[in-house]
Amino acid sequence: MKAIQVEKVGKLEIVDIPVPAVTDPRDVLVKVTSASVCASDLGIFRGSNSLARYPAVIGHEYAGVVESAGGLAAAVKPGDLVAVDPVRSCGRCFSCLAGRQNVCLNLRVSGVHLPGGFSEYVVAPGDRCHRLDPGKIPPDLACLVEPYSIGVQVNRRAGVEKGDRVLVIGSGPAGLCVLADAKARGAVVVSADLIESRLRAAEEFGADRTVNAAREDLAVAVADFTGGAGMPVVIDSACTLESFPQSLELASPAGRVVVMGNLDQPSPVAQVSITKKELTVIGTRLNNRRFPEAIDGMERGVYSPGKLRTHSFHFTKIAEAFDLIMNHPELVRKVVLTFD
């Protein structure tokens, strides 16, 4: 079978490798039908992901059809269309026993530490494979369950409820998934970005107000929108060194600030910027068994996955997809890779 492998930093290859064998009776073999490209895939390629190992078959956003299932993989059967949760946890550690398996002490992620879904076949635990109704979610969009699960996770972490006023900084694909899920929960959402076309996307995804922070002072816009109080919920999907301290500034007293970034360099943050408003600063990582909620949102039509995908490429054209994402962020929401 063919797979997309990052050989080492900066070197991408289509390799021919054996179809993986199902050795654990709880596992299934999935024939991949679609996979979407994430900024973190580019991070592995460019060497900015400190957790990545090389060579690596990448891709953590993928779906496919179950080809064969081990005897103990009870939840799915051959022929099922499934979205595959890339999180692999041990089930025994402090985090897993606390119900927080997405921060498992022995966490491994398919597409980062384990073979990923940019591959014609992949082996996955049966309980990480979530059945979809192909009449409601076409196989070529089923890979988008994973990005939407991130939106669910972020809003769950923030406790977003009907009527909450939420600022989403960044209107790239992650920001759009957070926005879509916040709107599904009944929140009032302000979306910010520096790129005008991304703000048009935020409008399509239901943003109540958009702010181009390249042209408009975001602090003034937030003050206008909230009568000077600041935003009760701020979600930072921009994830730059500056956006974290800025998020703290933009939050209202008693506000909640969600940090999505994985930078390992410090941002300048004064302790008083958290204490003076008694902020709650919340980390979020991957998803904590949110696939059923994300699938429900897609099947009920409250998200618009067809608007999230802007481009499709056959998976063997991955280099072209990477070039497009790197050089034209203003044109791209999600790139979906298709398989034969």
Position 38 contacts Mn ion (CB under 5 A): yes
Q: How far is the CB of 147 from Mn ion (least distance, A)?
A: 6
Least distance from C-beta 36 to Mn ion, angstroms? 8
Instruction: Provide the minimum distance between the beta carbon of 8 and Mn ion in the complex, in angstroms, as a whole number.
Output: 22
Output 22 or 107, the one with its CB closest to Mn ion. 107
Q: Cis bond leading into 173, ω under 30°?
A: no
**Per-residue interface string for the shown chain with Mn ion, residues 286-315, x marking contact by CB under 5 A:** ------------------------------
Q: How far is the CB of 312 from Mn ion (least distance, A)?
A: 17
CB of 32 to Mn ion, least distance (A): 16
Closest by CA position to 63, among listed 253, 298, 239: 298
- Dihedral angle computed from the Cα positions of residues 263, 117, 284 and 97, in that order, rounded to the nearest 10 degrees: -120
Q: Tell the smallest beta-carbon distance from residue 100 to Mn ion (Å).
A: 19
**Nearest CB to Mn ion, comparing residues 25 and 240:** 240
Least gap, CB of 325 to Mn ion (angstroms): 12
Contacts with 299 (C-beta within 8 Å, 6 or more apart), sequence order: 132, 133, 136, 137
The piece of 33-41, 88-96, 158-166, 208-216 that touches Mn ion (CB under 5 A) is: 33-41
Select the span of 38-46, 50-58, 96-104, 193-201 touching Mn ion (CB under 5 A).
38-46
DSSP 135-185: TTS-TTTGGGHHHHHHHHHHHHHHT--TT-EEEEE--SHHHHHHHHHHHHT
Interface with Mn ion, residue 213, by CB under 5 A: no
Residue from 126, 163, 178 nearest 287 by CA? 178
- Kindly indicate which of the ranges 22-30, 31-39, 134-142, 319-327 contains the residues binding Mn ion, using the contact rule CB under 5 A: 31-39
Query: How many residues bind to Mn ion according to rule CB under 5 A?
Result: 1
Site for Mn ion in 134-173 (CB under 5 A): none
Which of these ranges, 34-42, 232-240, 248-256, 307-315, lies near Mn ion under the rule CB under 5 A? 34-42
User: Could you tell me the smallest distance in angstroms from the CB atom of residue 105 to Mn ion?
Assistant: 22
60 vs 185 by CB, closer to Mn ion: 60
- In the complex with Mn ion, the residue whose CB is nearer, 36 or 246, is 36
Where does this chain touch Mn ion (CB under 5 A) — which range of 32-40, 161-169, 201-209, 220-228?
Answer: 32-40
Scanning 30-38, 107-115, 240-248, 297-305 for contacts with Mn ion by CB under 5 A, the matching segment is 30-38
Q: Which residues of 254-274 are buried (b: 16+ CB within 10 A; e: fewer)?
A: ebbbbbbbeeeeebeeeeeee
Q: Which residue is nearest to Mn ion (CB)?
A: 38
178 counts as binding Mn ion under rule CB under 5 A = no
For residue 130, give the 3-state DSSP assignment: strand
3-class SS of residue 85: coil
Residue 218 sits at φ, ψ, to 5 deg, of -65, -35
Retrieve residue 305's tokens: 């996955």
Instruction: Locate 298 and state its tokens.
Output: 């897609």
- CA nearest to 113, candidates 38, 60, 63: 60
- Is the Cβ–Cβ distance between 310 and 329 less than 8 Å? no
Positive or negative, the Cα torsion across 260, 263, 264, 267? Answer: negative
Alpha helices in the chain (DSSP H): 39-46, 94-97, 145-158, 173-184, 196-204, 218-226, 243-250, 271-275, 291-299, 305-308, 318-327
Which stretch, 36-44, 190-198, 213-221, 312-320, contacts Mn ion (CB under 5 A)? Answer: 36-44
Site string for Mn ion, 214-243 (x = CB under 5 A): ------------------------------
| Residue 311 tokens, joined | 């481009």
Least distance from Mn ion to the Cβ atom of residue 24, Å:
25
Angle between helices 173-184 and 145-158 (to 10 degrees): 60
Binding site for Mn ion (CB under 5 A): 38
